[in-house]
Structure 1
Amino acid sequence: MGKISISDVEPVEASPAAVQSPPLVPADYPRSRLPVAPALSLASFLRMSGPPAPSILDAGEVRFVTSGRVAIALALKQMGIGPGDTVLVPSYHCASMIEPVIWAGATPLFYRIRPDTTVDLDDIVVKAASVRNVKALMATNYYGFHQPLVALRAFCDERGIQLLEDCAHSFLGSHAGRPLGSWGDYAIASSMKFFPVYEGGCLVSARHRLDGVALQSAGAGFEAKVMLNSVENGFAYGRLPLLRALMTLPMAVKNALWGVIKARRHGAAPALAPGSSDGGFGFDPAWLTKRSSLFSRSMLRLVSRRRMGELRRRNYRHLYDALSALPGCRPLFATLPDGVYPWVFPLLCDEPQALFRQLKSAGVPVIRFGEYLWPGVDATVCENSVDLSRRVLQFPCHQELRDDEIKWMIGQVRSAVKGEEGDLR
């Protein structure tokens, strides 16, 4: 089956129903041999001396929700965004950033970004003046690297536009002496990208109270599923061996019972967690009133932000040093500034399609943010966004990767690019 192109997908109508994005074409790839996101282990709870890394949790009042896309929808709701309104959104994006705008009934207006992922402020000025009712601007700190937030804040203040700071890639970080997330009227983040949890996101505001955001538990089934899936993911990647041995029988019983439930429902098991937790697309407004699980909220307190930040920077530098000189490839960012705690290591590649297939087939945990842009977003809208969506491959640098795992991943990438033999041990 060939890849679905944007022209093959009909635009989604602005309707307050669950919004579906272009489906991914299934591929027969093996499971990644290393965890793409942090996997729960005993090391997750290790502490490092010194102050914690700055995070969005330091930026203002917080509400813990089940995903970043839910947090975006709640932010738009708090902003009063609705039908007839326009939201400036980046042309380099994933569907989860745009679906809540459509759900709110607003019109997304895509602005350009530069080759280094910073916003094209000149284009934003033009776009803001081109239509009426521009009520909000969404700015994304891609891969953990901040936008020119001082300039964006000034732009929004001058025009009475609300700023939504998208920190889905930047749970940790600071700029100009302030934590990321504190520049927007509202900010959102995704806990799943930084913590060893199965679900989680947050809505934050440094400027407004969040009393109007009322959340409730999603139920005992949800709470149990989140905890068990987080633990099982650790088991799958060789973490928590003693606990795995002790839970072999209980987990087998759980799986058998779950199979019976699915069979009785003719394969359609009840949705105990949002689709975002399983990497799914689509926005389900049923989760707008649901609070993040107790397990996930506890992990945000128990996992050391200092350790997370230090190890992410260390692993990023390791990947940078090992992969920056490969032919036909270069790191997307030339430096790792102070205050940046990266989500992943993005590598700009001349031949991304073949390299992606080879690495995925070898079990390398490579991902592609923005691979599927919203219908109608093409090179005429922003050539840089299309180029980045096609050419940037991302490799994990999270705190739960072991040294031998990083060495193996580097060996596989070098082997795929240069034909060298990777270390397969």
Structure 2
Amino acid sequence: MVAYPKSQIPTQPVLSLASFAGASRPARLGSILDVGTAKFVTSGRVAIALALVQMGIGKGDKVLVPAYHCASMIQPVVWAGATPVFYKVHPDTSVDLEDVLGKLDGTAKMLMATNYFGFPQDLAQLRRFCDEHGLYFLEDCAHSFLGTHRDKPLGSYGDYAIASAMKFFPVYEGGCLVSSRHDIRSLRLHSAGLGFEAKSAFNALEKGFAYGRMSVLKALLSLPMKAKNLLWSHIKNAAPSKSISLGPGASDGGFAFEPGWLDKSASLFSRMLIRTVPTSRIADKRRNNYLRLHEALSGLPGCRPLFAKLPEGVVPYVYPMVADNLPEIFPRLKHAGVPIIRFAEYLWDGVDGTICPNSVELSRHCLQLPCHQELRPEELDWMIEKFRSITLSSGTNAI
């Protein structure tokens, strides 16, 4: 894999004093935490695995999963001993229910549907479909911690729903499992230990410091941070293996599923931030940033927004665009420090154009720009200018 330089501006939310602004304002849109009892785990993929356990899915069962996916969505299914069966999605990422229907053979036990980039599927229709065909419904809200569908919080329609807190809150790790239909209160989780708890707090602070946030606090904590770095360096050098990690791989950019984190709760620091950071600010900032990007980038040659408009009730995870010449502009943007990401860049082995041509096209041509609430206006302007200049200089033709 190519090693790109660090992004000039944060790809995901980073902690700042502004993160807590507007704490007295009521939440304007729903949250997955409004659905029911929430169990806070360290990642969305762990939440998927726990949902599978709760549903009793295992060897001999088939699980219907989208052909447009990342590996972390599929690995828990394989870990459970079930067989993933990939169904088609339409060009706008909506579920192709006709294709799903053709894959029902009596052994399928569950349907997983993803609210890609924060834009909900037709969840009411999917709920009816699963009820009619005796399927469990897992609502994947990894991209949609906040938002509503038909005046109900996202996550309300599935038998179980999962979310990834790291994509919406300035935390090092975090995910959750919820259910409005099944009692999960008996699910027991425990801390991964003091080292993990400390790493979760220090990492969230350090990421904020790295992008120029909380400079006064950074100065006050300079000595404790230096002591922490020296201690960690000593521990790593003294260990037989240098591959030491006190946190889950999901938080450090990995895509692997780690069963050892199944019974671990999210850190106290992450849970505290998820409960205290005002979601009204998150929703408003993300929607405003999304619309700013949409206005500035919609007319670029060779590019088009994946979604033509931003509906009410949607709190976007990112701003997704389809670019004709993504293989050309992607490395140029990355080397310039533009924080673009590509969901489903690598599809599961065997998923190709014969399975779902739309998924392959999205995998090859869809990129995402951040629109999170911690972007400063000048950072957003810089990203827009860089994206426009690199795209316009590439000489592409309009779609």
Task: Calculate the aligned-residue CA RMSD, in Å.
Answer: 1.1
Query: Once the 2 structures are TM-superposed, how far is the Cα of residue 213 of structure 1 from its aligned partner?
Result: 1.6
Match for residue 268 of structure 1? 242
Match for residue 38 of structure 1? 13
Partner amino acid for 2:203?
N
Q: Partners in 2 of 1:112 and 1:28 — Cα distance?
A: 32
Q: Partners in 2 of 1:269 and 1:373 — Cα distance?
A: 27
Q: Partners in 2 of 1:114 and 1:269 — Cα distance?
A: 41
Match for residue 73 of structure 1? 49
Match for residue 279 of structure 1? 253
Match of 2:180 among 196, 206, 214: 206
Partner amino acid for 1:359?
L
Match for residue 397 of structure 2? none
Answer yes or no: is the 8 Å Cα contact 1:86–1:132 preserved in 2: no
Match for residue 29 of structure 1? 4
> SS state of the match for residue 103, structure 2?
helix
Q: Partners in 1 of 2:241 and 2:213 — Cα distance?
A: 30
Match of 1:355 among 315, 329, 339: 329
Q: Partners in 2 of 1:341 and 1:224 — Cα distance?
A: 31
**Is 1:417 aligned to residue 391 of structure 2?**
yes
> SS state of the match for residue 363, structure 1?
coil
**Is 1:215 aligned to residue 177 of structure 2?**
no
Query: Once the 2 structures are TM-superposed, how far is the Cα of residue 266 of structure 1 from its aligned partner?
Result: 4.0
Answer yes or no: is the 8 Å Cα contact 1:218–1:291 preserved in 2: yes
Q: Partners in 2 of 1:111 and 1:193 — Cα distance?
A: 25
Match for residue 19 of structure 1? none
Q: Partners in 2 of 1:224 and 1:144 — Cα distance?
A: 31
Q: CA offsets, 1:217-268, max 9 Å, x none?
A: 1111110000000000000000010011111222112111111111111452
Identity of aligned residues (%): 60
Match for residue 383 of structure 1? 357
Answer yes or no: is the 8 Å Cα contact 2:118–2:315 preserved in 1: yes
What pairs up with 1:65-144 in 2 under 5 angstroms?
65-128=41-104, 131-144=105-118
Q: CA offsets, 1:310-367, max 9 Å, x none?
A: 0000000000000000000010000100000000000100000111100000001000
Gaps of 5+ in 1: 1-24, 421-425
Match of 1:302 among 272, 276, 289: 276
Match of 2:22 among 13, 26, 47: 47
Match for residue 161 of structure 1? 135
Partner amino acid for 1:322?
A
Query: Once the 2 structures are TM-superposed, how far is the Cα of residue 211 of structure 1 from its aligned partner?
Result: 3.0
Partner amino acid for 1:406?
L
Answer yes or no: is the 8 Å Cα contact 2:322–2:365 preserved in 1: yes
Match for residue 64 of structure 1? 40
Q: Partners in 2 of 1:257 and 1:153 — Cα distance?
A: 51
**Is 1:197 aligned to residue 171 of structure 2?**
yes
Match for residue 228 of structure 2? 254
Partner amino acid for 2:157?
W
Query: Once the 2 structures are TM-superposed, how far is the Cα of residue 146 of structure 1 from its aligned partner?
Result: 0.4
Match for residue 366 of structure 1? 340
Range moving further from structure 2, 44-53 or 152-161: 44-53
Gaps of 5+ in 2: 395-399
Match for residue 21 of structure 1? none
TM-score scaled to structure 2, two decimals?
Answer: 0.97
